[in-house]
């Protein structure tokens, strides 16, 4: 049951939640950045159909989209990094790097699989006539992709990528299972100190809402602006 006394005890550990916000946002930003790089490589590999890269990229996407995020996280943390001695230091004075890095890697690999489909669809939405015209002007495949295709595709894929950031903010909560000091880690630590769970969960819910709701509205605003610009309004 919720109680005023429970919230009073919980607010004694509010610094843990502040640290959790910093960790969660850092985790999400890095995940989207590295996930985008992975996704771009996967999308290009699938579009160009260079064997066997396209098969590898397709297999990667299917595996990561068909398996639970928790399993992927545990494989990365316990198997991939299990015998790797990562530097033991703290980011911002409290985020343990040896746990934070595997979390970023696991989330980025998962996010890359989903983003690759968004990027692939955006690239394939570009009129093939423009690509043929670019090649006829002497541009290489790389130059065509860099100067003609991607600048136009980015307008299509930018809103979904921004929405992926919101999704990652929520999905990053799973990283507390390997000791990453995010918002849910703050809930667990507060529960251990106060023997209260309802109040920390309510605070965590409000924190996640304050992170995701305004971000979603800002993204929706820019989506509308971009749509009006495309229509010439």
pLDDT averages per 10-residue partition of the chain, 233 residues: 89 94 95 93 87 91 94 96 88 92 96 92 81 76 77 80 89 93 94 93 95 88 72 58
pLDDT tens-place string over residues 63-80 = 999 999 999 999 999 999
Structure tokens at 66: 């068909």
Q: What is the pLDDT of residue 194?
A: 92
H/E run at residue 95: strand 95-96
Give, in degrees to the nearest 5, the angle at Cα 171 between 169 and 174.
120
SS3 113: helix
The one-character DSSP state at 52 is T
CA–CA distance from 30 to each of 52, 56, 107, 124 (Å)? 29, 24, 9, 27
Report how far residue 121's alpha carbon sits from residue 126's, in angstroms, rounded to the nearest whole number: 9
Fold classification of 21-183 is MetI-like fold (1.10.3720)
CA dist 8 and 30 (Å) reads: 34
d(CA 20, CA 14): 10
Q: Which pLDDT score is estimated for 126?
A: 78
The span from the CA of 13 to the CA of 118, in Å, is: 40
- The per-residue pLDDT for 14 is 94
How confident is the model at residue 228, as a pLDDT?
67
Contacts of 128 (CB under 8 A, 6+ apart): none
Q: What is the pTM of this model?
A: 0.88
- Tally the C-alpha atoms within 13 A of residue 52's C-alpha that lie toward its C-beta: 3
Bridge partners (DSSP) listed for residue 95: 91
Of residues 159, 86, 170, the one with CA closest to residue 121: 159
């Amino acid at each position: 049951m919720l109680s005023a006394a429970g919230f009073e005890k919980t607010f004694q550990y509010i610094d843990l939640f502040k640290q959790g916000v910093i960790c969660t946002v850092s985790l999400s930003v890095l995940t989207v950045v590295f996930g985008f790089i992975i996704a771009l490589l996967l999308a290009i590999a699938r579009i160009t159909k260079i064997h066997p890269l396209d098969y590898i990229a397709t297999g990667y996407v299917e595996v990561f989209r068909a398996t639970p995020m928790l399993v992927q996280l545990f494989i990365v943390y316990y198997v991939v990094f299990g015998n790797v001695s990562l530097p033991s230091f703290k980011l911002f004075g409290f985020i343990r790097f040896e746990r934070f890095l595997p979390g970023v890697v696991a989330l980025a690999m998962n996010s890359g699989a989903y983003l690759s489909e968004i990027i692939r669809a955006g690239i394939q939405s570009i009129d093939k006539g423009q690509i043929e015209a670019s090649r006829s002007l002497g541009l290489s495949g790389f130059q065509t992709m860099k100067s003609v295709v991607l600048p136009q595709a980015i307008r299509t894929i930018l809103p979904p990528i921004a929405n992926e950031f919101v999704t990652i903010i929520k999905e990053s909560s799973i990283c507390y299972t390997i000791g990453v000091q995010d918002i849910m880690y703050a809930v667990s630590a507060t529960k251990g100190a106060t023997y209260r769970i309802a109040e920390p969960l309510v605070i965590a819910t409000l924190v996640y809402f304050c992170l995701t709701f305004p971000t979603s509205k800002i993204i929706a605003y820019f989506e509308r602006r971009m749509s009006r610009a495309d229509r010439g309004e």
